[in-house]
Structure 1
Amino acid sequence: MTYTTVYDIASDSVGLWFPLLGLGLILVGAVMKWRFGQSGWSSYPFIAIGIFTILAAGAVPWWDYCRVTQAVANGEAQRVEGPIHDWRMARGRKKRQSTGVTLYSRYEHFAVGSVDFDIHWDALEAGFANRGSTEEKPTLRLANGMPARIWYLPVDGPGKPPRIVRIDLGAESWADAVRQPDAGIAFRLVQGRISDEANILSADQKARLDVRLTAFERTTGHRLAVVTTPSLGGIDIARFAAQLADRRGMGDDSILLLVAPNERQARITVGRGLEARLPDAAAQEIMDMAILPLFRRDDIPTGIEAGASMIIGKVTSEEGK
């Protein structure tokens, strides 16, 4: 099992956006009052809101971050390890006493072992908060069955979910995790040998591919993984594929077929042990003959199947020589 640290509070920091905004409001109020001679009724609200913003979104989160990191430094963090289970999106509801308005917030719930965790995306508290996430593009994508090691602190009292201070996610192979630059680091446990993050393959197509990839691995001992990504994030596909392979420790006997359907691009990355059987020229020939022509006809799923079949055929034929 290979584990990758995807969050550690030691490398986290308190955001400065709100404190700077508060300071800006204070400066605006001060300039209005003492430079332009505006009345206090027009300038003091800026100053008051600025002070409140600094305290609520700056000083309080900083104090919270200091106490949590100090607890981690003192060795108070606990650890739980095992597969993620009971993952779900949840909705919190809270009624404001002053206005009676009901507010809703989205968050993720999951469990590892007997410990339950909640991740509120927009929380300013210290610890992992999956900040900037949406359901379409989470900063960190979690899934049931994914091996995980979680360090946490129950610092908020009984009945409150613990703070996550470190997350290690596990994968059986380099193809079990996909790095998406436009959505941070996105991890999803691959079912079989296919990771269709772009959601372009039907269930039947995935089933046919999985049968071929499984038979190929059993026959030759080599692994072929098919990965799709919704975006390359402006990165050259060759570098993107190399980063993906390096991140998960691509083996010498493995092949990666990476497809970026929105950019109409694909890349075949071959492990060193298979370069003689599938050299660059042969990989490019497969791209030119099987994959790209179908991509140009907007038949990307068929192009993926055809490309995988040609890769398998090429490596298998070279095995027999």
Structure 2
Amino acid sequence: MRGTANPERVVVLALDGVYPFELGIPSRIFGAADGHYEVLTCTVDGGPVRTNADFGITVDYGPEILETAGTVVVTSMPPTHIPTDLPDEVAAALARIRPDARIVSICTAAFVLAAAGLLEGRRATTHWQVADLFRRRYPHVDLDPDVLFVDDGRILTSAGAASGVDICLHIVRTDHGSELANAVARRCVVPPFRDGGQAQYIEQPVPESGAASTAATRAWALERLDEPLTLSDLSRHARMSLRTFARRFHDEVGLSPGRWLIQQRVARARHLLESSDLPVDRIAAEVGFATGASLRQHLHATIGVSPQTYRRTFQQAR
């Protein structure tokens, strides 16, 4: 856990052809985290780079700043700029990163990390449209093209465009808890939580004209997580048949109703573990898990630790 007295230094590496939107994500998300992060931007030689838009950018730092970073974010570029072989200057810049630094890629920047050998034998993701190309080039990387992001410890990779927001919020949540991550999301007017396992490509995020949405039912369910909600309960509230509701829910959210409910319950449990002294069994009941054992199982499956370990981490930081 990191405090404002010693903010985490995040260095963003802008490569030639960078997408301006993705380049701005780390500064916007980490910059809204109450001073817990310091965000600096560099290029491989300290000089300007062209974006994929009709303008270039200039930066204040060269690759030497990478040596001071606790977290490095490599941002994406169009498929036409994806290198087959890692350019020498990019390889030299990446070699400056400290062995203990956290490295994050947004979208096609996963190709850069793979070309540098950083993803060998690791699980990773990238934009679904270039997944086949990635697999052909880097068969020894365990690519999952269907998720928003992958947290593989020191190396984190994310999918296209807005999933960069999700992975940065995930880092804030991992470092400082859900309360700060939710506050950052509110300030940036973005969804506070999209789990990394959510589908990249959602078939029908906006209902067809005249078709009913499941959004109202999702809001209704979030107010009743302590209740044993079933698919029948949800479909009845939405006034749809079970089959229609399940299909439309998946089209809009990218998850089944059951998996979505588990994600929301785990997220609520994490918040209560961070912010209260309630016993684990009580928290399980508050969020709709039948027993404390069930909460322990789902929390461990999500973040790999027990409720007691998770709570202790945040209480010690406070």
TM-score (norm 2): 0.25
The structure in which a higher percent of residues are strand is 1
The structure in which a higher percent of residues are helix is 2
